[in-house]
Structure 1
Amino acid sequence: MSLPRRCSALAAFATTLLLQGCAGTHVSLQEVREFAGASAKLGGYAELSTRYRDTYLREQPYLTPAADKIAKENDAKRRAVYEDFISVQKSVVLYMNTLALLAGEDRFDLSTQLDDLGNGLKANTESGLEQRHITAYTGLTRLLTRAIASGYQGRSVETMVRDGDADLQTLIGAMFSLTRLYAKTNENEKKTVLGIFDIEIPYANRPNDRMLVTLAKVHYLNKSQEYKLIDKRYALAQQGLTKVSLGHQKLRENLDKLSNDEVRRTLAAFGRDLRMIREGLNEN
């Protein structure tokens, strides 16, 4: 065989080996991308945070003057911490958005979203935000800043998940605590609002009160349905947070075998569950 032909054959053989090597090491990140995307789009939590902030606006018409004074003080406290509560959620959503984009093939620019994260959190014993949550928020924000500023991809998924898991899990824990706070506040509001009807309607038994009682009962039923729907959303929000936490933990534990069929099926299942939960949260 002539030298040119031998060189050509060697080049073809080397190319074949290279392609085989690439095929053997290629890792599909589709399930990672879909899981992260579903986590970022879970929704519902921001609405529940806003509902918590606006508690006083709903309960004020039902309050006595004495109760109104205390309610105003609580309203001021809720509004003071609202931005911090939203910042926790935004950091988790931005992390998942960034992870989804890192697992894709397109370059991205999320730098404008970094401005929405705020300047940091403040510890608040009543809300449950502790120093460890503040530290985790700071750590995750720094990681996001590096990832978004550089726009790197590919193996960066591994770096992102490995470096971000501990802080992410801590912030998801904070969101669990805040969701429980929202649910407790909503329960107190429900007792305040519906309690008035439970007390007053039985005593409104004069003939002239018939229309008023009918309207009150209709209002009572509407408010009862509203609170029942909100209670369902609190439960779904916690289920969603659980799926995000467990899914990311699974991802962290299997960074070296993301092409494994079982791992891919598990991540895909988490993604499907999150999409179903999101549909439930969006129901009226």
Structure 2
Amino acid sequence: MNPLRTLSSTALLAASLLLGGCISNRVNLEEVREFADASARLGAYAELSTHYRDTYLREQPYLPPAADKVARENDAKRHAAYDDFVAIQKAVVLYMQTLAALASADRYDFTPQISTLGTGLTGLAKTTLVQNQVSAYTGLTRLLTRAFTSHLQKESVETMVREGDADVRVLLEAMIGMTEVYAAANENEKKTVLGFFEVALPLADRPQDRLLYTLARAHVQGKTGEYRLIDQRFALAREGLAKVALGHQKLRENLATMSSSEMRHMLSGYVRDLNMIRAGLTAD
């Protein structure tokens, strides 16, 4: 059996369980829930992954024929990596969604989360990830499957954070690194597209080409604005992922006092920051 495939049979068995959220002497986990929920809703990473995958579609009209062959080869590599990149992102989001559910005061049903475990990374022979990232992904999905069958809410939150911390850290570091790759690809695309116009526009600055010249300049202004916006989103995504990683680290370090006023205040600060980052990521 492929070690990168999730334990779907166990997950499907867990789908029938509606877990109760009430325990005696329940600690206050509201800030834990809010932090996990805010971390799970940092959804622009998936959009940035798609933007990276589709680089060739945007740059192809501006490529000289001599560069097209290399660009198509890079396009094939990006498509090969895309599914793995998205699988990592989905695993981290699912972990945070599960942690938020476990920290909720309400009853919770993991059926929606279980349904996402049916797909995983590509096979070991094809994966574009390094071994520690593969191991972290596999370990996290196994932890999630176990969490779906747990009946003790407080213990489940502590278990999730304690046992998931190392794998979550590896996957978040991978996502931050991938964002750097995305940003580098976007920078190359920007140079290709805007460089095309730097060469072509002076040649079109003649009275008979005035309409074409004006339209081209307007197009350049629009593309420049697009690249500025996507650069800002890359920066915000990196900042958000770093906040998630640091918040989870602090939660792991303070499991015994996660209901203390100091820890709750700290988590509330991370939630505030993540909400602001998410607003920036979705702004036009």
TM superposition score category, shorter chain reference: 0.7 to 0.9
Residue 262 in structure 1 maps to residue 262 in structure 2: yes
* Residue aligned with 2:148, SS: helix
1:27-67 Cα shifts (integer Å, max 9, x gaps): 21010000000000011100000000111111111112221
Alignment gaps of 5+ in structure 2 = 1-23
Whole-Å Cα distance in 1 between the matches of residues 224 and 136 of structure 2? 38
Shift of 1:229: 0.1
Shift of 1:154: 2.6
1:168-215 Cα shifts (integer Å, max 9, x gaps): 000000001100000000000000000011111122222111111100
* Contact 2:84 2:122 (C-alpha < 8 Å) held by counterparts: yes
Match of 2:121 in 1: 120
* Residue aligned with 1:119, SS: coil
1:238-272 Cα shifts (integer Å, max 9, x gaps): 00001100100110011111121111100000011
Deviates more, 1:245-254 or 1:202-211: 202-211
1:105-254 equivalences in 2 (<5 Å): 105-117=105-117, 118-121=119-122, 129-150=129-150, 152-254=152-254
Shift of 1:156: 1.1
Alignment gaps of 5+ in structure 1 = 1-21
Shift of 1:124: 9.6
Whole-Å Cα distance in 2 between the matches of residues 273 and 125 of structure 1? 37
Q: Point out the structure with the larger helix share.
A: 1
Whole-Å Cα distance in 2 between the matches of residues 114 and 78 of structure 1? 28
Distance 1:79 1:96, change over 3 A: same
Match of 2:64 in 1: 64
Whole-Å Cα distance in 1 between the matches of residues 26 and 108 of structure 2? 22
Shift of 1:71: 1.2
Whole-Å Cα distance in 1 between the matches of residues 224 and 124 of structure 2? 34
Distance 1:71 1:186, change over 3 A: same
Shift of 1:106: 2.6
Q: Give 1:110's aligned amino acid.
A: F
How many residue pairs are counted as aligned between the two chains? 260
* Contact 1:84 1:122 (C-alpha < 8 Å) held by counterparts: no
Match of 1:12 in 2: none
Q: Which structure's CA Rg is the greater one?
A: 1
1:79-118 equivalences in 2 (<5 Å): 79-117=79-117, 118=119
* Contact 1:109 1:151 (C-alpha < 8 Å) held by counterparts: no
TM-score, length-scaled by structure 1: 0.87
Shift of 1:123: 6.9
TM-score, length-scaled by structure 2: 0.87
* Residue aligned with 1:69, SS: helix
* Contact 1:121 1:134 (C-alpha < 8 Å) held by counterparts: no
* Residue aligned with 1:104, SS: coil
Whole-Å Cα distance in 1 between the matches of residues 125 and 243 of structure 2? 27
Shift of 1:112: 4.5
Whole-Å Cα distance in 1 between the matches of residues 35 and 112 of structure 2? 23
1:101-151 Cα shifts (integer Å, max 9, x gaps): 000123333344345342335679996x31101000000000001112446
* Contact 2:38 2:274 (C-alpha < 8 Å) held by counterparts: yes
* Contact 2:81 2:127 (C-alpha < 8 Å) held by counterparts: no
Deviates more, 1:185-194 or 1:141-150: 141-150
Percent identity over the alignment is 60
* Residue aligned with 1:155, SS: helix
- TM-align CA RMSD: 1.9
* Contact 1:161 1:252 (C-alpha < 8 Å) held by counterparts: yes
Whole-Å Cα distance in 2 between the matches of residues 41 and 173 of structure 1? 18
